[in-house]
Structure 1
Protein backbone atom coordinates (compact mmCIF):
# COMPACT_ATOMS: atom_id res chain seq x y z
CA UNK A 1 0.00 0.00 0.00
CA UNK A 2 1.34 3.41 -0.97
CA UNK A 3 0.86 6.37 1.38
CA UNK A 4 0.10 9.95 0.32
CA UNK A 5 0.20 12.74 2.90
CA UNK A 6 -2.09 15.77 3.10
CA UNK A 7 -0.75 19.24 2.45
CA UNK A 8 -1.74 22.92 2.64
CA UNK A 9 -3.15 24.62 -0.49
CA UNK A 10 -0.40 27.24 -0.29
CA UNK A 11 2.16 24.49 -0.80
CA UNK A 12 0.50 23.30 -4.00
CA UNK A 13 0.88 26.75 -5.57
CA UNK A 14 4.63 26.12 -5.66
CA UNK A 15 4.52 22.63 -7.17
CA UNK A 16 5.79 21.99 -10.69
CA UNK A 17 4.29 19.33 -12.94
CA UNK A 18 6.18 16.42 -11.43
CA UNK A 19 5.40 17.47 -7.86
CA UNK A 20 1.68 17.79 -8.63
CA UNK A 21 1.70 14.31 -10.13
CA UNK A 22 3.69 12.90 -7.22
CA UNK A 23 1.29 14.17 -4.56
CA UNK A 24 -2.12 13.85 -6.27
CA UNK A 25 -2.00 11.40 -9.18
CA UNK A 26 -1.99 7.62 -8.98
CA UNK A 27 -0.93 6.26 -12.37
CA UNK A 28 -1.21 2.52 -11.66
CA UNK A 29 -4.56 1.30 -10.40
CA UNK A 30 -4.69 -2.18 -11.96
CA UNK A 31 -1.90 -4.74 -12.14
CA UNK A 32 -2.34 -8.40 -13.06
CA UNK A 33 -3.12 -10.63 -10.07
CA UNK A 34 -2.56 -7.83 -7.58
CA UNK A 35 -4.51 -5.56 -5.27
CA UNK A 36 -2.93 -2.11 -5.59
CA UNK A 37 -4.03 0.46 -3.00
CA UNK A 38 -3.18 4.02 -2.00
CA UNK A 39 -3.75 5.36 1.51
CA UNK A 40 -4.42 9.11 1.47
CA UNK A 41 -4.19 11.10 4.69
CA UNK A 42 -6.89 13.39 3.25
CA UNK A 43 -9.84 12.06 5.28
CA UNK A 44 -8.01 8.68 5.35
CA UNK A 45 -9.55 7.33 2.17
CA UNK A 46 -8.02 4.22 0.60
CA UNK A 47 -8.48 3.80 -3.15
CA UNK A 48 -7.17 1.42 -5.76
CA UNK A 49 -7.90 -1.68 -7.77
CA UNK A 50 -8.06 -5.47 -7.66
CA UNK A 51 -7.40 -7.30 -10.93
CA UNK A 52 -7.65 -11.09 -10.57
CA UNK A 53 -6.54 -12.96 -13.69
CA UNK A 54 -4.98 -16.34 -12.91
CA UNK A 55 -5.52 -16.14 -9.15
CA UNK A 56 -8.17 -15.43 -6.53
CA UNK A 57 -7.14 -12.29 -4.64
CA UNK A 58 -7.70 -11.72 -0.91
CA UNK A 59 -7.90 -8.25 0.62
CA UNK A 60 -5.82 -8.31 3.78
CA UNK A 61 -5.25 -5.64 6.43
CA UNK A 62 -2.09 -3.74 5.53
CA UNK A 63 0.44 -2.77 8.18
CA UNK A 64 -0.68 0.85 7.82
CA UNK A 65 -4.10 -0.03 9.28
CA UNK A 66 -2.86 -1.90 12.38
CA UNK A 67 -6.07 -3.91 12.23
CA UNK A 68 -6.88 -7.62 12.42
CA UNK A 69 -8.70 -7.44 9.06
CA UNK A 70 -9.23 -4.77 6.41
CA UNK A 71 -12.79 -3.73 7.32
CA UNK A 72 -12.38 -3.95 11.09
CA UNK A 73 -12.88 -0.17 11.33
CA UNK A 74 -13.79 0.63 7.75
CA UNK A 75 -16.50 0.41 5.08
CA UNK A 76 -15.90 -0.12 1.38
CA UNK A 77 -17.36 0.34 -2.07
CA UNK A 78 -16.28 -1.49 -5.22
CA UNK A 79 -17.33 -0.98 -8.84
CA UNK A 80 -16.32 -3.37 -11.62
CA UNK A 81 -14.93 -1.64 -14.73
CA UNK A 82 -13.74 -4.81 -16.52
CA UNK A 83 -15.07 -8.23 -17.43
CA UNK A 84 -17.48 -10.14 -15.21
CA UNK A 85 -16.19 -11.14 -11.80
CA UNK A 86 -17.19 -12.27 -8.35
CA UNK A 87 -16.53 -10.70 -4.96
CA UNK A 88 -16.74 -13.17 -2.07
CA UNK A 89 -17.66 -11.69 1.31
CA UNK A 90 -17.40 -14.04 4.28
CA UNK A 91 -18.18 -16.92 1.94
CA UNK A 92 -21.13 -15.29 0.15
CA UNK A 93 -20.67 -14.69 -3.58
CA UNK A 94 -21.79 -11.58 -5.47
CA UNK A 95 -21.34 -11.45 -9.25
CA UNK A 96 -20.48 -8.02 -10.59
CA UNK A 97 -20.60 -7.31 -14.31
CA UNK A 98 -19.16 -4.14 -15.81
CA UNK A 99 -20.65 -0.97 -14.27
CA UNK A 100 -22.06 -2.90 -11.32
CA UNK A 101 -21.03 -2.10 -7.78
CA UNK A 102 -21.33 -3.14 -4.17
CA UNK A 103 -21.33 -1.52 -0.74
CA UNK A 104 -19.60 -3.58 1.95
CA UNK A 105 -20.18 -2.75 5.59
CA UNK A 106 -17.73 -2.59 8.48
CA UNK A 107 -17.06 -5.96 10.11
CA UNK A 108 -16.84 -8.05 6.94
CA UNK A 109 -13.77 -10.19 7.56
CA UNK A 110 -13.02 -12.16 4.39
CA UNK A 111 -12.96 -10.33 1.04
CA UNK A 112 -11.89 -12.10 -2.13
CA UNK A 113 -11.96 -11.18 -5.81
CA UNK A 114 -12.08 -13.55 -8.81
CA UNK A 115 -12.61 -13.18 -12.56
CA UNK A 116 -15.00 -15.37 -14.53
CA UNK A 117 -12.85 -15.21 -17.67
CA UNK A 118 -9.09 -14.70 -17.41
CA UNK A 119 -9.05 -13.50 -21.02
CA UNK A 120 -11.40 -10.67 -20.03
CA UNK A 121 -10.56 -10.14 -16.36
CA UNK A 122 -12.63 -8.20 -13.89
CA UNK A 123 -11.26 -4.89 -12.64
CA UNK A 124 -12.67 -3.96 -9.24
CA UNK A 125 -12.13 -0.28 -8.40
CA UNK A 126 -12.16 0.18 -4.62
CA UNK A 127 -12.84 3.04 -2.21
CA UNK A 128 -12.65 2.49 1.56
CA UNK A 129 -13.09 4.98 4.41
CA UNK A 130 -13.26 4.87 8.21
CA UNK A 131 -16.62 3.78 9.66
CA UNK A 132 -18.35 4.02 13.04
CA UNK A 133 -20.99 1.32 12.66
CA UNK A 134 -21.90 -1.60 10.40
CA UNK A 135 -24.47 -1.33 7.62
CA UNK A 136 -25.71 -4.20 5.41
CA UNK A 137 -23.90 -5.18 2.25
CA UNK A 138 -25.83 -4.13 -0.87
CA UNK A 139 -25.14 -5.02 -4.51
CA UNK A 140 -25.91 -2.08 -6.80
CA UNK A 141 -26.35 -2.08 -10.56
CA UNK A 142 -27.16 0.92 -12.74
CA UNK A 143 -30.90 0.24 -12.54
CA UNK A 144 -30.77 0.54 -8.75
CA UNK A 145 -28.71 3.74 -8.79
CA UNK A 146 -30.13 7.25 -8.59
CA UNK A 147 -29.82 8.56 -12.15
CA UNK A 148 -29.45 12.19 -13.24
CA UNK A 149 -28.93 13.58 -16.75
CA UNK A 150 -27.02 16.85 -16.75
CA UNK A 151 -25.35 19.30 -19.13
CA UNK A 152 -25.89 20.37 -22.71
CA UNK A 153 -24.28 19.58 -26.03
CA UNK A 154 -23.66 23.30 -26.52
CA UNK A 155 -21.46 23.37 -23.41
CA UNK A 156 -19.83 20.01 -24.28
CA UNK A 157 -20.81 18.55 -20.89
CA UNK A 158 -23.77 16.28 -21.60
CA UNK A 159 -23.49 13.41 -19.12
CA UNK A 160 -25.38 10.87 -17.03
CA UNK A 161 -24.62 10.48 -13.32
CA UNK A 162 -25.31 7.19 -11.54
CA UNK A 163 -25.28 7.59 -7.76
CA UNK A 164 -24.42 4.11 -6.42
CA UNK A 165 -23.54 4.56 -2.75
CA UNK A 166 -25.96 7.33 -1.84
CA UNK A 167 -28.56 7.81 0.93
CA UNK A 168 -31.41 7.05 -1.51
CA UNK A 169 -29.78 3.73 -2.48
CA UNK A 170 -28.16 2.29 0.63
CA UNK A 171 -26.87 3.28 4.04
CA UNK A 172 -23.23 4.11 4.67
CA UNK A 173 -21.30 5.86 7.38
CA UNK A 174 -19.58 8.48 5.23
CA UNK A 175 -18.75 6.94 1.85
CA UNK A 176 -20.46 8.20 -1.31
CA UNK A 177 -19.62 6.71 -4.68
CA UNK A 178 -20.92 6.74 -8.23
CA UNK A 179 -20.29 6.72 -11.96
CA UNK A 180 -20.49 9.57 -14.47
CA UNK A 181 -20.64 8.79 -18.19
CA UNK A 182 -20.01 11.52 -20.75
CA UNK A 183 -21.93 11.41 -24.01
CA UNK A 184 -20.14 11.22 -27.34
CA UNK A 185 -19.10 14.73 -28.35
CA UNK A 186 -18.84 15.94 -24.75
CA UNK A 187 -15.59 16.40 -22.85
CA UNK A 188 -16.18 18.57 -19.78
CA UNK A 189 -17.03 17.15 -16.37
CA UNK A 190 -18.10 19.11 -13.26
CA UNK A 191 -18.07 22.44 -15.07
CA UNK A 192 -19.09 24.99 -13.82
CA UNK A 193 -16.91 23.67 -11.05
CA UNK A 194 -17.19 23.70 -7.28
CA UNK A 195 -15.49 22.77 -4.06
CA UNK A 196 -17.02 21.12 -1.00
CA UNK A 197 -15.17 22.02 2.17
CA UNK A 198 -16.92 19.26 4.10
CA UNK A 199 -15.78 16.42 1.84
CA UNK A 200 -12.78 15.28 -0.18
CA UNK A 201 -13.04 13.36 -3.44
CA UNK A 202 -11.10 10.95 -5.63
CA UNK A 203 -11.73 10.74 -9.38
CA UNK A 204 -10.90 7.59 -11.35
CA UNK A 205 -10.98 8.04 -15.13
CA UNK A 206 -11.61 5.06 -17.44
CA UNK A 207 -13.19 4.08 -20.78
CA UNK A 208 -10.76 6.58 -22.31
CA UNK A 209 -8.97 5.49 -25.53
CA UNK A 210 -5.32 4.78 -24.88
CA UNK A 211 -4.14 7.55 -27.22
CA UNK A 212 -6.41 10.19 -25.62
CA UNK A 213 -6.04 12.22 -22.40
CA UNK A 214 -8.05 14.07 -19.75
CA UNK A 215 -6.78 17.42 -18.50
CA UNK A 216 -7.89 17.32 -14.87
CA UNK A 217 -8.25 20.75 -13.25
CA UNK A 218 -7.42 21.24 -9.57
CA UNK A 219 -6.30 23.90 -7.11
CA UNK A 220 -8.06 26.90 -5.63
CA UNK A 221 -10.30 29.01 -7.85
CA UNK A 222 -7.72 31.78 -8.14
CA UNK A 223 -4.76 29.38 -8.45
CA UNK A 224 -5.84 26.58 -10.77
CA UNK A 225 -3.50 23.86 -11.93
CA UNK A 226 -3.91 20.87 -14.22
CA UNK A 227 -2.76 17.25 -14.33
CA UNK A 228 -2.75 15.34 -17.62
CA UNK A 229 -4.26 11.89 -17.06
CA UNK A 230 -4.46 8.70 -19.10
CA UNK A 231 -6.93 5.82 -19.02
CA UNK A 232 -7.45 4.05 -15.67
CA UNK A 233 -5.71 6.61 -13.49
CA UNK A 234 -6.96 8.28 -10.31
CA UNK A 235 -6.45 11.70 -8.75
CA UNK A 236 -6.88 12.97 -5.18
CA UNK A 237 -8.96 16.12 -4.69
CA UNK A 238 -8.68 17.73 -1.22
CA UNK A 239 -11.69 19.65 0.08
CA UNK A 240 -10.15 23.01 -0.83
CA UNK A 241 -9.59 22.07 -4.46
CA UNK A 242 -11.79 22.34 -7.51
CA UNK A 243 -12.15 19.11 -9.48
CA UNK A 244 -13.14 19.24 -13.12
CA UNK A 245 -11.72 18.06 -16.38
CA UNK A 246 -11.77 18.22 -20.15
CA UNK A 247 -11.01 15.21 -22.33
CA UNK A 248 -9.78 14.90 -25.87
CA UNK A 249 -12.50 12.24 -26.15
CA UNK A 250 -15.53 11.33 -24.08
CA UNK A 251 -14.85 9.05 -21.12
CA UNK A 252 -16.34 7.67 -17.90
CA UNK A 253 -15.22 8.30 -14.35
CA UNK A 254 -15.94 7.07 -10.84
CA UNK A 255 -16.16 9.59 -8.06
CA UNK A 256 -15.78 8.68 -4.41
CA UNK A 257 -16.31 11.09 -1.52
CA UNK A 258 -15.96 11.04 2.25
CA UNK A 259 -15.86 13.55 5.07
CA UNK A 260 -18.27 15.55 7.19
CA UNK A 261 -21.53 14.66 5.40
CA UNK A 262 -23.08 12.71 2.53
CA UNK A 263 -25.18 15.54 1.05
CA UNK A 264 -24.44 15.30 -2.67
CA UNK A 265 -25.53 18.89 -3.40
CA UNK A 266 -23.54 20.44 -0.55
CA UNK A 267 -21.23 22.30 -2.92
CA UNK A 268 -19.62 25.73 -2.97
CA UNK A 269 -20.27 26.61 -6.60
CA UNK A 270 -17.87 28.76 -8.59
CA UNK A 271 -18.60 30.81 -11.69
CA UNK A 272 -16.46 29.90 -14.66
CA UNK A 273 -15.68 33.58 -15.26
CA UNK A 274 -14.07 33.82 -11.80
CA UNK A 275 -11.50 31.07 -12.38
CA UNK A 276 -7.86 31.97 -12.89
Structure 2
Protein backbone atom coordinates (compact mmCIF):
# COMPACT_ATOMS: atom_id res chain seq x y z
CA UNK A 1 0.00 0.00 0.00
CA UNK A 2 1.29 3.45 -0.94
CA UNK A 3 0.56 6.43 1.33
CA UNK A 4 1.14 10.13 0.59
CA UNK A 5 0.88 12.43 3.63
CA UNK A 6 -0.27 16.06 3.37
CA UNK A 7 -0.15 18.55 6.23
CA UNK A 8 -2.57 21.36 7.00
CA UNK A 9 -2.31 24.85 5.48
CA UNK A 10 -3.27 28.25 6.86
CA UNK A 11 -5.34 30.27 4.37
CA UNK A 12 -3.05 33.26 4.91
CA UNK A 13 -0.14 31.16 3.67
CA UNK A 14 -2.03 29.45 0.85
CA UNK A 15 -2.92 32.71 -0.87
CA UNK A 16 0.79 33.18 -1.64
CA UNK A 17 1.26 29.76 -3.26
CA UNK A 18 2.30 29.63 -6.90
CA UNK A 19 0.90 27.00 -9.28
CA UNK A 20 3.44 24.30 -8.44
CA UNK A 21 3.03 24.82 -4.69
CA UNK A 22 -0.77 24.69 -4.97
CA UNK A 23 -0.55 21.41 -6.81
CA UNK A 24 1.99 19.95 -4.38
CA UNK A 25 -0.23 20.75 -1.39
CA UNK A 26 -3.74 20.02 -2.68
CA UNK A 27 -3.61 17.81 -5.81
CA UNK A 28 -3.31 14.01 -5.60
CA UNK A 29 -2.78 12.51 -9.03
CA UNK A 30 -1.85 8.89 -8.26
CA UNK A 31 -5.14 7.46 -7.03
CA UNK A 32 -5.03 4.42 -9.30
CA UNK A 33 -1.94 2.25 -9.74
CA UNK A 34 -2.44 -1.31 -10.99
CA UNK A 35 -2.15 -3.90 -8.22
CA UNK A 36 -1.80 -1.21 -5.56
CA UNK A 37 -3.90 0.55 -2.95
CA UNK A 38 -2.74 4.15 -3.36
CA UNK A 39 -3.87 6.56 -0.64
CA UNK A 40 -3.39 10.14 0.48
CA UNK A 41 -3.58 11.09 4.19
CA UNK A 42 -4.52 14.74 4.70
CA UNK A 43 -4.32 16.30 8.13
CA UNK A 44 -7.49 18.24 7.26
CA UNK A 45 -9.85 16.29 9.52
CA UNK A 46 -7.44 13.32 9.09
CA UNK A 47 -9.27 12.11 5.99
CA UNK A 48 -7.69 9.34 3.89
CA UNK A 49 -8.65 8.95 0.23
CA UNK A 50 -7.44 7.24 -2.93
CA UNK A 51 -8.00 4.09 -4.93
CA UNK A 52 -7.66 0.34 -5.13
CA UNK A 53 -6.95 -1.18 -8.55
CA UNK A 54 -6.65 -4.98 -8.36
CA UNK A 55 -5.30 -6.48 -11.57
CA UNK A 56 -4.86 -10.22 -11.25
CA UNK A 57 -4.54 -10.38 -7.48
CA UNK A 58 -6.49 -9.41 -4.38
CA UNK A 59 -5.54 -6.22 -2.56
CA UNK A 60 -5.86 -6.06 1.22
CA UNK A 61 -6.43 -2.82 3.11
CA UNK A 62 -3.79 -2.64 5.84
CA UNK A 63 -3.12 -0.39 8.80
CA UNK A 64 0.35 0.36 10.13
CA UNK A 65 2.30 3.02 11.99
CA UNK A 66 0.65 5.91 10.13
CA UNK A 67 -2.73 4.81 11.50
CA UNK A 68 -1.60 3.61 14.91
CA UNK A 69 -3.07 0.15 14.33
CA UNK A 70 -2.43 -2.93 12.20
CA UNK A 71 -6.14 -2.84 11.28
CA UNK A 72 -6.96 0.10 9.00
CA UNK A 73 -10.53 0.38 10.28
CA UNK A 74 -9.68 -0.06 13.96
CA UNK A 75 -10.67 3.58 14.58
CA UNK A 76 -11.91 4.56 11.12
CA UNK A 77 -14.90 4.19 8.78
CA UNK A 78 -14.78 3.78 5.00
CA UNK A 79 -16.82 4.72 1.95
CA UNK A 80 -16.30 3.05 -1.43
CA UNK A 81 -17.60 3.74 -4.95
CA UNK A 82 -16.67 1.57 -7.93
CA UNK A 83 -15.80 3.90 -10.83
CA UNK A 84 -14.80 1.36 -13.51
CA UNK A 85 -15.08 -2.33 -14.28
CA UNK A 86 -16.64 -5.06 -12.17
CA UNK A 87 -15.18 -6.49 -9.01
CA UNK A 88 -15.77 -7.59 -5.46
CA UNK A 89 -15.20 -6.01 -2.08
CA UNK A 90 -14.81 -8.49 0.77
CA UNK A 91 -15.59 -7.01 4.18
CA UNK A 92 -15.57 -9.04 7.37
CA UNK A 93 -15.78 -12.31 5.42
CA UNK A 94 -18.74 -11.30 3.22
CA UNK A 95 -18.31 -10.69 -0.51
CA UNK A 96 -20.05 -7.76 -2.20
CA UNK A 97 -20.01 -7.90 -6.03
CA UNK A 98 -19.87 -4.37 -7.44
CA UNK A 99 -20.38 -2.80 -10.85
CA UNK A 100 -19.59 0.75 -11.93
CA UNK A 101 -21.61 3.19 -9.83
CA UNK A 102 -22.15 0.86 -6.89
CA UNK A 103 -20.95 1.91 -3.45
CA UNK A 104 -20.78 0.75 0.13
CA UNK A 105 -20.11 1.85 3.67
CA UNK A 106 -17.88 -0.19 6.01
CA UNK A 107 -17.95 0.69 9.68
CA UNK A 108 -15.34 0.93 12.40
CA UNK A 109 -13.72 -2.30 13.53
CA UNK A 110 -14.02 -4.44 10.39
CA UNK A 111 -10.68 -6.22 10.27
CA UNK A 112 -10.56 -7.78 6.80
CA UNK A 113 -11.20 -5.64 3.71
CA UNK A 114 -10.06 -6.92 0.31
CA UNK A 115 -10.57 -5.84 -3.29
CA UNK A 116 -10.60 -8.03 -6.40
CA UNK A 117 -11.54 -7.65 -10.07
CA UNK A 118 -13.82 -9.63 -12.35
CA UNK A 119 -12.75 -11.11 -15.66
CA UNK A 120 -13.28 -7.99 -17.80
CA UNK A 121 -10.18 -6.07 -16.70
CA UNK A 122 -9.13 -4.24 -13.55
CA UNK A 123 -11.88 -2.74 -11.44
CA UNK A 124 -11.27 0.66 -9.86
CA UNK A 125 -12.56 1.34 -6.36
CA UNK A 126 -12.42 4.92 -5.04
CA UNK A 127 -12.06 5.15 -1.25
CA UNK A 128 -12.66 7.83 1.39
CA UNK A 129 -12.06 7.21 5.10
CA UNK A 130 -12.51 9.32 8.22
CA UNK A 131 -11.88 8.74 11.95
CA UNK A 132 -14.82 7.10 13.71
CA UNK A 133 -15.89 6.70 17.34
CA UNK A 134 -18.84 4.32 16.86
CA UNK A 135 -19.25 1.12 14.86
CA UNK A 136 -22.12 1.19 12.36
CA UNK A 137 -23.17 -1.75 10.14
CA UNK A 138 -21.66 -2.37 6.73
CA UNK A 139 -24.11 -1.37 3.99
CA UNK A 140 -23.98 -2.21 0.28
CA UNK A 141 -25.31 0.76 -1.73
CA UNK A 142 -25.93 0.08 -5.44
CA UNK A 143 -26.46 3.25 -7.42
CA UNK A 144 -30.16 2.39 -7.62
CA UNK A 145 -30.34 2.73 -3.81
CA UNK A 146 -28.38 6.00 -3.59
CA UNK A 147 -30.45 9.10 -2.82
CA UNK A 148 -30.70 11.32 -5.96
CA UNK A 149 -31.05 15.12 -5.88
CA UNK A 150 -31.34 16.94 -9.20
CA UNK A 151 -30.07 20.53 -9.22
CA UNK A 152 -29.29 23.32 -11.68
CA UNK A 153 -30.81 24.60 -14.90
CA UNK A 154 -29.78 24.68 -18.59
CA UNK A 155 -29.45 28.48 -18.65
CA UNK A 156 -26.61 28.24 -16.14
CA UNK A 157 -25.12 25.09 -17.78
CA UNK A 158 -25.11 23.28 -14.42
CA UNK A 159 -27.82 20.60 -14.61
CA UNK A 160 -26.61 17.72 -12.47
CA UNK A 161 -27.80 14.88 -10.28
CA UNK A 162 -26.21 14.41 -6.88
CA UNK A 163 -26.29 10.79 -5.71
CA UNK A 164 -25.91 10.55 -1.94
CA UNK A 165 -24.35 7.25 -0.83
CA UNK A 166 -22.88 7.62 2.68
CA UNK A 167 -25.46 10.05 3.98
CA UNK A 168 -28.14 10.07 6.71
CA UNK A 169 -30.80 9.56 4.01
CA UNK A 170 -29.17 6.23 3.09
CA UNK A 171 -27.13 4.80 5.99
CA UNK A 172 -25.61 5.67 9.34
CA UNK A 173 -22.01 6.84 9.71
CA UNK A 174 -20.01 8.74 12.31
CA UNK A 175 -18.81 11.75 10.34
CA UNK A 176 -18.15 10.57 6.79
CA UNK A 177 -20.47 11.85 4.04
CA UNK A 178 -19.89 10.71 0.46
CA UNK A 179 -21.59 10.86 -2.90
CA UNK A 180 -21.26 11.24 -6.65
CA UNK A 181 -22.37 14.06 -8.94
CA UNK A 182 -23.11 13.41 -12.62
CA UNK A 183 -23.47 16.39 -14.96
CA UNK A 184 -25.92 16.21 -17.85
CA UNK A 185 -24.70 16.63 -21.45
CA UNK A 186 -24.04 20.29 -22.20
CA UNK A 187 -23.56 21.23 -18.52
CA UNK A 188 -20.06 22.06 -17.29
CA UNK A 189 -20.40 23.93 -13.97
CA UNK A 190 -20.71 22.38 -10.54
CA UNK A 191 -21.38 24.07 -7.19
CA UNK A 192 -21.73 27.61 -8.50
CA UNK A 193 -22.78 29.88 -6.80
CA UNK A 194 -20.18 28.46 -4.48
CA UNK A 195 -19.90 28.04 -0.73
CA UNK A 196 -17.62 26.97 2.06
CA UNK A 197 -18.49 24.85 5.10
CA UNK A 198 -16.34 25.89 8.01
CA UNK A 199 -17.36 22.81 9.97
CA UNK A 200 -16.03 20.20 7.52
CA UNK A 201 -13.47 19.65 4.79
CA UNK A 202 -14.07 18.07 1.38
CA UNK A 203 -12.19 16.05 -1.22
CA UNK A 204 -13.20 15.98 -4.89
CA UNK A 205 -12.29 13.20 -7.32
CA UNK A 206 -12.85 13.96 -11.02
CA UNK A 207 -13.29 11.15 -13.54
CA UNK A 208 -15.08 10.02 -16.72
CA UNK A 209 -13.39 12.87 -18.60
CA UNK A 210 -12.71 12.53 -22.31
CA UNK A 211 -9.10 12.71 -23.56
CA UNK A 212 -8.00 16.32 -23.92
CA UNK A 213 -10.56 17.61 -21.40
CA UNK A 214 -9.70 19.38 -18.17
CA UNK A 215 -11.60 20.76 -15.20
CA UNK A 216 -10.66 24.10 -13.65
CA UNK A 217 -11.20 23.42 -9.95
CA UNK A 218 -11.73 26.66 -8.02
CA UNK A 219 -9.99 26.85 -4.66
CA UNK A 220 -9.10 29.30 -1.91
CA UNK A 221 -11.01 31.75 0.27
CA UNK A 222 -13.88 33.54 -1.48
CA UNK A 223 -11.89 36.79 -1.68
CA UNK A 224 -8.62 35.02 -2.63
CA UNK A 225 -9.60 32.45 -5.23
CA UNK A 226 -7.16 30.29 -7.14
CA UNK A 227 -7.61 27.43 -9.58
CA UNK A 228 -6.07 24.01 -10.04
CA UNK A 229 -6.22 22.35 -13.47
CA UNK A 230 -7.49 18.79 -13.05
CA UNK A 231 -7.11 15.85 -15.42
CA UNK A 232 -9.00 12.57 -15.45
CA UNK A 233 -8.94 10.50 -12.23
CA UNK A 234 -7.29 13.14 -10.07
CA UNK A 235 -8.22 14.25 -6.54
CA UNK A 236 -8.10 17.65 -4.88
CA UNK A 237 -8.22 18.60 -1.19
CA UNK A 238 -10.45 21.50 -0.15
CA UNK A 239 -9.89 22.58 3.47
CA UNK A 240 -12.86 23.98 5.39
CA UNK A 241 -11.86 27.57 4.53
CA UNK A 242 -11.79 26.95 0.78
CA UNK A 243 -14.49 27.12 -1.84
CA UNK A 244 -14.84 24.00 -4.00
CA UNK A 245 -16.34 24.46 -7.41
CA UNK A 246 -15.36 23.57 -10.92
CA UNK A 247 -15.95 24.11 -14.61
CA UNK A 248 -14.92 21.68 -17.32
CA UNK A 249 -14.08 21.87 -20.99
CA UNK A 250 -16.28 18.83 -21.47
CA UNK A 251 -18.36 16.27 -19.62
CA UNK A 252 -17.18 14.88 -16.28
CA UNK A 253 -18.35 13.20 -13.10
CA UNK A 254 -16.98 13.71 -9.61
CA UNK A 255 -17.11 12.01 -6.24
CA UNK A 256 -17.19 14.17 -3.14
CA UNK A 257 -16.24 13.07 0.35
CA UNK A 258 -16.65 15.17 3.49
CA UNK A 259 -15.78 14.87 7.16
CA UNK A 260 -15.96 17.24 10.10
CA UNK A 261 -18.35 18.51 12.74
CA UNK A 262 -21.67 17.43 11.25
CA UNK A 263 -23.42 15.55 8.44
CA UNK A 264 -26.05 18.12 7.46
CA UNK A 265 -25.72 18.27 3.69
CA UNK A 266 -27.11 21.83 3.42
CA UNK A 267 -24.95 23.24 6.23
CA UNK A 268 -23.12 25.67 3.95
CA UNK A 269 -21.80 29.21 4.18
CA UNK A 270 -23.03 30.57 0.85
CA UNK A 271 -20.96 33.11 -1.09
CA UNK A 272 -22.70 35.76 -3.17
CA UNK A 273 -21.41 35.97 -6.73
CA UNK A 274 -20.59 39.66 -6.32
CA UNK A 275 -18.35 38.86 -3.34
CA UNK A 276 -16.02 36.52 -5.23
CA UNK A 277 -12.55 37.82 -6.00
Calculate the TM-score normalised by the size of structure 2: 0.98
RMSD: 0.7
Matches within 5 A, 1:14-163: 14-117=16-119, 119-163=120-164
Give the secondary-structure state (helix, strand or coil) at the position aligned to 1:64: helix
Cα distance in 2, alignment partners of residues 29 and 110 from structure 1: 21
Kept in 2: contact 1:82–1:120 (CA 8 A): no
Structure 1 residue 62, shift from structure 2 partner: 3.1
Deviations for 1:87-131, whole angstroms, at most 9, x for unmatched residues?
0112210011101000000010011000002x4321000000000
Deviates more, 1:250-259 or 1:140-149: 140-149
Deviates more, 1:60-69 or 1:16-25: 60-69
Structure 1 residue 142, shift from structure 2 partner: 1.9
In the alignment, what sits opposite 1:265?
266
Structure 1 residue 7, shift from structure 2 partner: 1.0
Deviations for 1:43-77, whole angstroms, at most 9, x for unmatched residues?
00000000001111001103211202000000000
Give the secondary-structure state (helix, strand or coil) at the position aligned to 2:220: strand
Calculate the TM-score normalised by the size of structure 1: 0.98
Cα distance in 2, alignment partners of residues 126 and 171 from structure 1: 17
In the alignment, what sits opposite 1:221?
222
Q: Which runs of 4+ in 1 moved over 2 A?
A: none
Give the secondary-structure state (helix, strand or coil) at the position aligned to 1:81: strand
Cα distance in 1, alignment partners of residues 130 and 20 from structure 2: 27
Structure 1 residue 150, shift from structure 2 partner: 0.5
Cα distance in 2, alignment partners of residues 83 and 94 from structure 1: 14
Structure 1 residue 219, shift from structure 2 partner: 0.3
The count of aligned residue pairs is 275
Structure 1 residue 143, shift from structure 2 partner: 1.8
Cα distance in 1, alignment partners of residues 109 and 21 from structure 2: 37
**Are 1:249 and 2:242 counterparts?**
no
Structure 1 residue 168, shift from structure 2 partner: 1.1
Give the secondary-structure state (helix, strand or coil) at the position aligned to 1:205: strand
**Structure 1 stretches of 5 or more lacking a match?**
none
Deviations for 1:137-179, whole angstroms, at most 9, x for unmatched residues?
0000122111111001110101000000110100000000000
Matches within 5 A, 1:180-259: 180-259=181-260
Give the secondary-structure state (helix, strand or coil) at the position aligned to 2:155: coil
Cα distance in 2, alignment partners of residues 120 and 249 from structure 1: 26
Kept in 1: contact 2:64–2:70 (CA 8 A): no
Cα distance in 2, alignment partners of residues 157 and 71 from structure 1: 37
